[in-house]
Amino acid sequence: MTKLSRRAFAATSLSLAATAPAKAAPALTVRQVLERMHGQIGTPWTERGVDRIIVGDPDTLVTGIGTTMMATFDALKAAVAAKCNLVITHEPTFWMHEDDVTQLQDDPLYKVKLAYMKAHNLVSFHFHDHWHAKKPIDGIHQGMADRMGWSRYLKNPYDRHIDLPPTTLGGLAREFQKKLGNRTLRVVGDPGLAVKRIALSWGNCSLLPGAPYLNSDCDALVIGECQDWDLTAYAQDLVTAGRKKGLIVLGHILSEQWGMDYAATWLRGFVPEVPVKFLPLAEPYWNLKTKWTFEIIVRVSP
Amino acid sequence: MSDLTALQLIQRVIAKSGAQGRPQTVDFVSAGDPTSAVNGIAVMGQASLEGLRQAAAAKANLVFTYDPAFWATGDNLTRMETDALFLEKRAFIRAHDLVVFNLHDHLRDAMPDRIAAGMGQALGWQSDTANVNLFRRPPTNLLALAQELSAKLDDKTLRVVGDPKLAVTTVAASFGNTQQLPAIALLNGPADVLVCGYAHEWEVVEYAQDMISVGLKKGLVLLGENASVQAGMKSAADWIKTVVTEVPVTFISLPEPYWIL
Burial label for B62, CB within 10 Å (0-12, 13-18, 19+), is: buried
Which pLDDT value is given to residue A297?
Answer: 58
Instruction: Give the Cβ contact number of residue B134 at 10 Å.
Output: 18
Nearest to B257 among A92, A236, A284 (CB): A236
Instruction: Look at residue B185 and tell me whether its pLDDT is greater than 70.
Output: yes
Whether residue A285 and residue B161 make contact (CB cut-off 8 A), yes or no, is: yes
Residues of B in contact with A302 (CB under 8 A): 214-215
Residues of A in contact with B260 (CB under 8 A): 184-187, 287, 289-290
Nearest to A194 by CA among A222, A217, A224, A171: A171
What string of H, E and C letters represents the secondary structure of chain B? CCCCEHHHHHHHHHHHCCCCCCCCCCCCEEECCCCCECCCEEEEEECCHHHHHHHHHCCCCEEEEEECCCCCCCCCCHHHCCCHHHHHHHHHHHHCCCEEEECCHHHHCCCCCHHHHHHHHHHCCCECCCCCCEEEEEEEEHHHHHHHHHHHHCCCCCEEECCCCCEEEEEEEEEEECCHHHHHHHHCCCCCEEEEEECCCCCHHHHHHHHHHCCCCCEEEECCHHHHHHHHHHHHHHHHHHHCCCCCEEECCCCCCCEEC
What is each CA distance from B12 to A7, B16, B244, in whole angstroms? 61, 6, 8
Whether residue A211 and residue B85 make contact (CB cut-off 8 A), yes or no, is: yes
Question: B75 and chain A: CB distance < 8 Å anywhere?
Answer: no
Dihedrals φ, ψ of A29, to 5°? -100, 165
Ordered DSSP codes for A237-253: HHHHTT---EEEE--HH
In a structure prediction context, what are the per-residue pLDDT tens digits for chain A, which is 302 residues long? 333 343 343 343 444 444 444 445 579 999 999 999 999 999 999 999 999 999 999 999 999 999 999 999 999 999 999 999 999 999 999 999 999 999 999 999 999 999 999 999 999 999 999 999 999 999 999 999 999 999 999 988 888 999 999 999 999 999 999 999 988 999 999 999 999 999 999 999 999 999 999 999 999 999 999 999 999 999 999 999 999 999 999 999 999 999 999 999 999 999 999 999 999 999 999 999 977 677 765 444 33
Question: B71 and chain A: CB distance < 8 Å anywhere?
Answer: yes
Question: Average of pLDDT values for B160-179?
Answer: 96
Which pLDDT value is given to residue A194?
Answer: 98
Which pLDDT value is given to residue A302?
Answer: 35
Whether residue B206 and residue A288 make contact (CB cut-off 8 A), yes or no, is: no
The pLDDT tens digits of the residues spanning B66-125 come to 999 999 877 777 888 899 999 999 999 999 999 999 999 999 999 999 999 999 999 999
**Which chain B residue is nearest to residue A71, measuring alpha carbons?**
B206
Query: Across chain B, what does the average pLDDT equal?
Result: 95
Residues of A in contact with B198 (CB under 8 A): 227-228
Name A225's bridge partners.
Answer: A204
* CA dihedral over A149, A153, A155, A156, signed as positive or negative: negative
DSSP-derived letter for residue A139 is H
Which pLDDT value is given to residue B75?
Answer: 74
Question: A2 and chain B: CB distance < 8 Å anywhere?
Answer: no
Q: Judge if pTM exceeds 0.90.
A: yes
Whether residue A204 and residue B202 make contact (CB cut-off 8 A), yes or no, is: yes
What are the residue ranges of helices labelled H in chain A?
A: 2-19, 30-40, 73-81, 108-119, 129-133, 139-148, 169-180, 207-215, 233-240, 252-256, 258-268
Whether residue A95 and residue B207 make contact (CB cut-off 8 A), yes or no, is: yes
The number of angstroms, rounded, from the C-alpha of B115 to the middle of its chain's C-alpha atoms is 7
The pLDDT tens digits of the residues spanning B32-55 come to 999 999 999 999 999 999 999 999
What is each CA distance from A258 to A34, A275, B16, B128, in whole angstroms? 21, 18, 53, 44
Residues of B in contact with A174 (CB under 8 A): 261
Whether residue B49 and residue A251 make contact (CB cut-off 8 A), yes or no, is: no
Cα B209 from Cα A109, distance rounded (Å): 11
Q: Check: CB of residue B161 under 8 Å from CB of residue B219.
A: yes
Residues of A in contact with B257 (CB under 8 A): 188, 228, 232-233, 235-236
Whether residue B201 and residue A109 make contact (CB cut-off 8 A), yes or no, is: no
Residue A248 to chain B, least CA–CA distance (Å): 9
Instruction: Look at residue B157 and tell me whether its pLDDT is greater than 70.
Output: yes
Whether residue A96 and residue B73 make contact (CB cut-off 8 A), yes or no, is: no
Name B172's bridge partners.
Answer: B134, B194
A74 CB-near residues (< 8 Å, 6+ apart): A281, A282, A296, A297, A298, B209, B210, B213
Residue A230 to chain B, least CA–CA distance (Å): 4
The single-letter code of the amino acid at B24 is Q
Which pLDDT value is given to residue A158?
Answer: 83
Whether residue A285 and residue B50 make contact (CB cut-off 8 A), yes or no, is: no
C-alpha triplet B39, B91, B27: angle, nearest 5°:
60
Nearest to B163 among A170, A251, A294 (CB): A294
Whether residue B210 and residue A191 make contact (CB cut-off 8 A), yes or no, is: no
Which pLDDT value is given to residue B78?
Answer: 80
Residues of B in contact with A292 (CB under 8 A): 143, 160, 164
Residues 235-254, chain B, touching A (beta carbon < 8 A): none
The pLDDT tens digits of the residues spanning B204-235 come to 999 999 999 999 999 999 999 999 999 999 99
In Å, the largest CA–CA distance within chain A is: 72
SS3 (DSSP) at A39:
helix
Which pLDDT value is given to residue B169?
Answer: 97
Whether residue A92 and residue B213 make contact (CB cut-off 8 A), yes or no, is: no
Q: Check: CB of residue B159 under 8 Å from CB of residue B165.
A: no
